[in-house]
């Protein structure tokens, strides 16, 4: 953890308090495509598995059938049907469109224990076996829980939206506020965490008002409304916004006493303990032409071509953060870099998603995202000359923006001046 003294204090104050503001449009009552409707249009699903494969070609599977297991983390089928092929860690399932599910038993009935008997070890083991991952990253949720045990003092549910087409977190905390807060209490009780925070965008008024009515009687859970003027879906930036502490890329949120989970993984944890459901779906938002936004509960393993068909996309897609997860990668969904160019015209075009990865990774504390729009950085204190050209920002940029060449161009212009 970096305490940031002297020059770093000045730069970080500039970095977060003078960031550019976003055009913002609060999305309400956008069309919702149910899991059943989406699954009925899919012919097959290809799910990347890790560790021991538990099925073979010709096996019949249902929604929730375990496909693979590694270190306690289990991947489940997201559709019902017949396993067509198992090859190089990928399981191809022909969808019979019957949506048959494995038996789902609430935690208490399944284990014979009450939630009061749930300790940290059992929580971590149960979440791992359900295959829950963070919706805004590639991280497995049980790993974060394990890292945070005996370290975290505050649980933060990240429901911040900075792009106008990203409606998922607000949708969840608005329509499932009771379930989100119930899951928070389960996690806090098991890990011994005394304080919970639901972090919202400052402009998410409807969600904030509803959550305030639910949490006003609680001494343990509160709502915080954060500014929209810089990318805050990055957990490190959430911690900074709430506490003023900056974390180095080599540390974790737990080092600062925080456990940061996405709203969707928190909702998955509720469904796991209350309904016995493993993590087989993801709720995403897709915007067409920046005008119409859809919410959809999709089976995990949906391909880019499937999405083009489901949403009738013809290259007019507007980029939003949830799109990063809609193509297959090692955890079932991909970052933007894995989405085919035919589907996502944003790749290579320099469209910044404001994910904040470049800012979080920069070892010199540059506001790298200021270079993402192609122009020169607008603030004097964002000095490109201190860049050591390590290339981390460009390597990990999900939109493949040529950040390093833009920083070099800024350096050359500084020398010319």
Sign for the CA dihedral angle at 347, 349, 353, 355 comes to: positive
How many residues are there in the chain? 417
- Per-residue pLDDT of 31-51, as tens digits, reads 788 888 888 988 998 888 888
Angle at the Cα of 339 from the Cα atoms of 335 and 342, rounded to 5 degrees: 160
Q: Is 176 exposed, middle or buried (0-12, 13-18, 19+ CB in 10 A)?
A: middle
Out of 3.30.830.10, 3.40.309.10, 3.90.1580.10, 3.40.50.11540, which CATH number does the structure's domain 107-275 have?
3.40.50.11540
For 349, the token pair is: 């075009």
Q: Report the alpha-carbon distance of residue 268 to residue 272 in Å, rounded.
A: 6
Look at residue 62 in the predicted model and tell me its pLDDT. Answer: 95
pLDDT tens for the chain, residues 1 to 417: 333 332 222 233 323 333 333 444 455 567 788 888 888 988 998 888 888 999 999 999 999 999 999 989 999 999 999 999 998 888 999 999 999 999 888 888 888 888 888 999 999 999 999 999 886 566 889 999 999 999 999 999 988 865 555 678 888 888 899 999 999 999 999 999 999 999 887 777 788 888 888 888 888 999 988 865 544 566 777 887 788 787 766 678 898 899 999 898 999 999 999 999 998 888 877 765 555 677 888 888 777 667 777 776 654 443 333 333 333 223 222 223 223 333 333 444 456 766 666 776 777 767 787 777 655 444 444 677 778 888 888 877 777 788 888 888 887 776 655
Q: What is the pLDDT of residue 202?
A: 77
Which pLDDT belongs to residue 414? 65
User: What are the two backbone dihedrals, phi and then psi, of residue 201, each rounded to the nearest 5 degrees?
Assistant: -65, 145
- Predicted confidence at residue 124, as pLDDT, reads 95
Residue ranges covered by each domain of the chain:
32-102+294-338, 107-275, 350-416
Residue 327 near residue 379 (C-beta atoms within 8 A):
no
Sheet strand arrangement including 258-262: 221-226, 195-201, 154-159, 258-262
User: What SS3 state is found at 205?
Assistant: helix
CA distances from 18 to 2, 227, 249, 303 (A): 21, 11, 22, 38
């Amino acid at each position: 953890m970096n305490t940031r003294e002297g020059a770093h204090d000045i730069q970080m104050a500039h970095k977060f308090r003078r960031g550019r503001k976003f055009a913002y449009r609060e999305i309400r009552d956008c069309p919702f495509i149910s899991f059943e409707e989406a699954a009925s249009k899919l012919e097959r699903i290809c799910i990347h598995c890790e560790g021991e494969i538990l099925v073979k070609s010709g096996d019949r599977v249902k929604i929730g059938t375990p496909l693979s297991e590694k270190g306690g983390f289990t991947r489940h089928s997201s559709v019902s049907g017949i396993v067509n092929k198992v090859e190089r860690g990928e399981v191809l399932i022909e969808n019979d469109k019957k949506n048959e599910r494995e038996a789902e038993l609430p935690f208490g009935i399944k284990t014979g224990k009450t939630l009061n008997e749930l300790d940290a070890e059992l929580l971590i083991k149960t979440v791992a076996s359900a295959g829950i991952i963070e919706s805004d990253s590639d991280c497995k949720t049980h790993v974060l829980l394990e890292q945070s045990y005996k370290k975290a003092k505050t649980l933060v549910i990240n429901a911040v939206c900075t792009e106008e087409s990203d409606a998922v977190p607000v949708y969840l905390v608005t329509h499932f506020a009771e379930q989100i807060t119930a899951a928070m209490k389960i996690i806090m009780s098991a890990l011994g965490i005394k304080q919970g925070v639901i972090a919202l965008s400052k402009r998410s008024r409807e969600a904030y008002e509803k959550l305030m009515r639910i949490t006003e009687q609680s001494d343990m859970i509160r709502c915080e409304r954060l500014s929209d003027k810089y990318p805050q879906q990055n957990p490190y930036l959430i911690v900074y916004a709430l506490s003023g502490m900056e974390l180095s890329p080599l540390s974790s949120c737990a080092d600062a006493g925080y456990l940061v989970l996405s709203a969707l993984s928190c909702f998955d944890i509720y469904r796991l303990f209350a309904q016995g459901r493993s993590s087989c779906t993801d709720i995403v938002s897709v915007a067409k032409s920046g005008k119409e936004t859809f919410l959809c509960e999709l089976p995990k393993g949906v391909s880019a071509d499937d999405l083009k068909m489901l949403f009738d996309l013809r290259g007019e897609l507007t980029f939003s953060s949830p799109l990063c997860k809609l193509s297959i990668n090692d955890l079932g969904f991909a970052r933007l870099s894995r989405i085919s160019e035919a589907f996502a015209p944003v790749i290579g075009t320099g469209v910044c998603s404001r994910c904040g990865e470049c800012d979080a990774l920069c070892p010199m504390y540059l506001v790298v995202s200021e270079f993402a729009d192609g122009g020169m950085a607008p603030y004097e204190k964002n000095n490109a000359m201190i860049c050591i050209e390590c290339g981390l920002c460009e390597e990990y940029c999900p939109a493949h923006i040529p950040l390093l060449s833009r920083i070099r161009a800024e350096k050359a212009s500084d020398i010319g001046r």
